[in-house]
Amino acid sequence: MKKKLLSMMLATALVTTSFVGCGGNAGSANSGAADTSADTAADATEADASAEEEQVQLIGTSEDPNTLTVSAWDANFNIPALEAAAAAYQKENPDFKLEIQTVSASSDVENAVTLAGSSGDYSQLPDIVLFQDHYIQNYVSNYPDAWNNLQDAGIDWNDFGAEKLSYSTIDGVHYGAPVDNGTCVFAYRVDVLEQAGYSLADVTGITWDRWLEIAKDVKDKTGYALMSMDHSGDDLPYMMMQAEGQSQWKDGKPNLVGNDTFKKIIEVIVQGANDGTIILANGWTEYTDNTIKGDQVAGVFNGNWIIPTIKGNEATSGKWEITTIPTLTGKEGYASNGGSSLYITGNCQKVELAQKFLAYTFGGGAGAMETYDNALRNGGVITTCVSASKSDVYNEGVDFFNNQAIYTTVVEYGTHVPTVEQNDYHYTMRTEVGNVITNVQNGADIDAEIEAAQGNIEFAMEE
C-alpha cells in the first residue's frame, strides 16, 4: 500500500504545480505538495514512465573531501539559509565548501529519491537533501538504504520543539536536522480591532464561539473579515485540530466519524464562512494576493511562513500583532503547518563531515546562532532551535508588527505545539475535509458528509 502511495504522490507531482518552498508559494512544505487522492493519480507504471521523462537530475556528490553537495528548493527562502550555514561552518573548517543545487520544487527531490529507491541505485543523489516533514517518514520506511541518520552527530535534541522532531524521528532514531519553523501565528490588525472596540487581549485565550461573535462585530463595524483560508488546500481544520491536541487520525485510520471536536471545528468554519467573517478563497493566489495583500482581512492564521505575505501589504505596516490560536475550550492554542529538514542520503561518502556540518549549524552547535541570524535576515527562515533564538536579532522588535519581537515569540510558541498523529494520506484527508466544508456550507447534512469523507479516505488507503 505504501509503495502504491509513493507512485500516486509521484504521478500527481508531475502533473501539477508544486509549491516552491516554505515562503508561501503554492504546493510547498507550508501547505503541502500535490494532493495524493486516488482520483488524480496514475498507476505505478505510468508514474515511473512519466518520471523518467521529466525527472530533474540531482547534483550527485563531489570527489573533493571537503565539499558536500545539497539539493533544495526556493531561492528566496531555503537557499539563503544553506548559504548562511556554509559561511558559518567555514569559520570552523576553512577548507569546507557547500555546493548547492537549487531545484524548482520539493517534488524534484521526492521524485529523485523515489526513482533511486525503486531501482536500488542511490549513486545520483547528493550528500544532503532538503525534504518535506509530512513526507519523510514514508520515504524512510520504504527506502531505508536511501538515508544516513544523525543519531550520533552530537546534536542536543532537547534544544528543539518535540512536535518538529516528531516528523524526522523514525523508530526512535533521528534522521533530520530541522531547518524552518512551521509554528502557526494568528496575526491581527490591531487598528481594526480597536476601531471595533477590541484589543489583542480580547482575541487571546478565547473560545472559537467567542471569536465568531467578535469577528461578526468587527465585520459589521469595519467591513473586514477576521480570517481567510485557501479553500483549494484546506489546512485550517488540521491546524485547529492540532491546537486542541487532537489529530484527524487514530491508530493509522481516519478519525472523523463520531469525533465531536472535528465536527465542531467544521461547524465553526462553516458559520464563519456564512457570516462573511471567514473568506474561503478559491486558490492560493486569491488567498494571498486578494484577501491578505488586497486588504480584505484583519486577521491571518497560518504557519509563520505567511509573515512575508502579510508584510506585502506595506500600507498596513505597524498595525499588526501576533498571538496564539483560539480553541474550543478557550485555552491558548498552538499548532504548526508545514516545514522541512535536511537529511544525509545513502550516497554520501563523507557522513562524518555531513554530520559535523549539520550539527554545528542547523543542529544548535557553535554556529547555529550565526546561521539562523543570517537565515532570518536574508530569507526569513525562523529557527526551531531554542538556543539560536536567544540572539539580539531574534529579540529585536519588528516595526511592521508594532515593534513586537515576533521571531523569538514564534520559537517560544513552537515549544508548546502538541505532537499529534500524522499519516501518509495527510493530503487525501485535506481534500476530503475541504469537500465536507463546501457541501455543508451548501446545505448538506454534516454527519452524512463526515461519514462520506471518512469512507472515501478509507477507500483510497485500501487501493
pLDDT of residue 39: 33
CATH architecture of the domain 184-335+420-457 equals 3-Layer(aba) Sandwich (3.40)
Say how far apart CA 292 and CA 272 lie, in whole Å: 17
3-state secondary structure of 433: helix
- Domain ranges across the chain: 2-182+339-390, 184-335+420-457
State the architecture of 2-182+339-390 in CATH terms.
3-Layer(aba) Sandwich (3.40)
- Max Cα–Cα distance, the chain, nearest Å: 66
Helices 2-15, 106-119: inter-axial angle, 10-degree rounding: 140
Give tens-digit pLDDT for 410-458: 999 999 999 999 988 988 999 999 999 999 999 999 999 999 999 999 9
What is residue 233's predicted lDDT score, i.e. its pLDDT? 86
Could you tell me the pTM of the whole model?
A: 0.86
| pLDDT given at position 15 | 35
- Condensed to tens digits (0 to 9), the pLDDT of residues 225-236 reads 999 999 998 899
Q: What is the pLDDT of residues 244-283, one digit of tens each?
A: 999 999 999 999 999 999 999 999 999 999 999 999 999 9
| Partners of 345 in the β-ladder | 147
Residue 127 pLDDT exceeds 60: yes
As a whole number, mean pLDDT of residues 151-172 equals 95
Cβ distance 407 to 392 under 8 Å?
no
d(CA 287, CA 293): 9
Q: d(Cα 108, Cα 112) in Å, to the nearest integer?
A: 6
**Cα–Cα distance list, 284 to 5, 46, 78, 343, 397 (Å):** 25, 28, 20, 29, 29
Average pLDDT over the chain reads 89
pLDDT at 37 over 80: no
Is 60 exceeded by the pLDDT of residue 376? yes
Report the DSSP pairing between strands 176-178 and 340-345: antiparallel
Report whether 52 contacts 341 (CB < 8 A): no
Write out the three cell numbers for 269: 468554519
Cα separation, 102 vs 284, in Å, equals 23
pLDDT digits (tens, 9 = 90+) for 310-332: 999 999 999 999 999 999 999 99
The C-alpha cell of 303 is what? 504557519
| pLDDT above 80 for 9 | no
pLDDT attached to residue 135: 86
Residue 302 to residue 115: CA distance in whole angstroms: 33
Q: Please tell me the chain's helix, strand, coil percentages from 3-state DSSP, rounded to the nearest 5.
A: 50, 15, 35
Q: What is the pLDDT of residues 74-105, one digit of tens each?
A: 998 999 999 999 999 999 999 999 999 999 99
On the 0-12 / 13-18 / 19+ scale of CB atoms within 10 A, 257 is middle
Whether the per-residue pLDDT at 214 is higher than 50: the answer is yes
Secondary structure element (H or E) that encloses residue 222, with its range: helix 208-222
Distance CA 332, CA 201 (A): 11
Output the 3-class SS for 114-180. Answer: HHHHHHCCCCCCCCEEEEEHHHHHHHHHHCHHHEECCCCCCCCHHHECHHHHHHHEECCEECEEECC
% of the chain surpassing 70 pLDDT: 88
Residue 56's pLDDT band, with cuts at 50, 70 and 90, is: confident
- Which residue, among 382, 10, 8, 362, has the nearest Cα to 168 in the 3D structure? 362
How far CA 330 is from CA of 324, 326, 395, in Å, comes to 11, 6, 28
Q: Which of 24, 39, 31 is nearest to 15 (CA)?
A: 39
Angle formed by the axes of helices 351-360 and 78-92, to 10°? 100
C-alpha atoms less than 13 angstroms from C-alpha of 47 in its C-beta half-sphere: 23
Closest CA to 185 of 347, 334, 374, 344: 334
Q: Are 126 and 71 in contact, with CB atoms under 8 Å apart?
A: yes
Q: Which of 413, 386, 378, 428 is nearest to 138 (CA)?
A: 428
